[in-house]
Amino acid sequence: MGVSGRFSPLAPGTMQEAQHQFLVQPWDKESPIMAISGEVTADLILLRGMAEALALEPAPALRPMDEENWATYLHLIQEGIQSGKLRKAVAARFRLANRTRSVFDAFLEAEKNYPDAMVSLVYLPAFGLWLGASPEILIQPHTGAWKTVSMAGTLASTAAKWTEKEMEENLATQQFIEEILGQAGATVLEESATETILAGQLEHLVKEYRFRLSEEKIETLVQQLHPTPAVGGLPRSSALSYIQKNEGDTRCLFAGWLGFSHSNQPHLWVNIRCCRLFADAAVLYAGAGINTKSIPADEWEETHAKMNTIGICI
């Protein structure tokens, strides 16, 4: 399905005013939430025409981080952890890739490959055209209550085994979510065990939380959750400072969130496994949770595998 209309920034506290809208929050949580309210359609011919009519700009001259600078970045994070300034931080990078499919065919390919993901194709004048296939729920209605997840810790090979490094990554996110839910006054009804899910060719550690909270408090909860330690770090302010210093303003919509609100109930996903599409190329994004047990070469390969999740679709 698709929604056509004009995106507009939302004032705080207005996320759930419209009955049906698509919502986008950039990585920078100081940026306003963008909302589109319009006609919903499942007409693939119409949607293809809309997608292919976009006049995409040529890819800019970008300088992706190389492996040497990546290692330096990760060592800085690890020094911060050892000094007590950080518990973990999520380092991210991007790379350029050629496109072989049309815009809409890339979207259909992502839908085919990742039927359980939130597959999205979103155009914002300030951010361009983004394609994503996110497996990570931020919040959504679930059996008369709400659901969120702690999704942190990744294996690029199903033959590999979970280590203390990945377990610590997920535990940090679990503790953060539980603290935020408690501060919001949520009643936790059910917690799952920490389980392994397969998303594309990657395995992830996931723990689900089902909780009860009044609808008028949900927008505040979303603002408190973003960005979670799964894409930011802990303590959050310190981790975001490391990210800003070493990555600059490169994330844009990557690691923000997006989704739709239906009948005043938001269904939102963290915007990972995504790329920005240009006329002749794409910029692929991925991040990795870093702690003292992280090995830069392994994290480099992990981010490469994450980029390939959407890269094979374009």
Contact in structure between 285 and 277 (CB atoms under 8 Å): no
What's the pLDDT at 16? 54
Q: Residue 129's pLDDT is what?
A: 97
Backbone angles phi, psi at 244, to 5 degrees: -60, -40
Total domains in the chain come to 1
pLDDT band, very low/low/confident/very high, at 9 (cuts 50, 70, 90): low
Which two structure tokens, joined as six digits, stand for 257? 């969130």
Q: Which domain holds residue 271?
A: 2-11+18-311
- Chain-centroid distance of CA 270 in Å reads 3
DSSP letter (8 states) at residue 168:
H
156 band by pLDDT with thresholds 50, 70 and 90: confident
Question: Domain with 111 in it: what CATH number?
Answer: 3.60.120.10
**Distance from C-alpha of 29 to C-alpha of 42, rounded to nearest angstrom:** 31
Question: In whole angstroms, how far apart are CA 30 and each of 9, 12, 226, 233, 286?
Answer: 12, 11, 11, 17, 21
pLDDT in tens, 176-185: 999 999 999 9
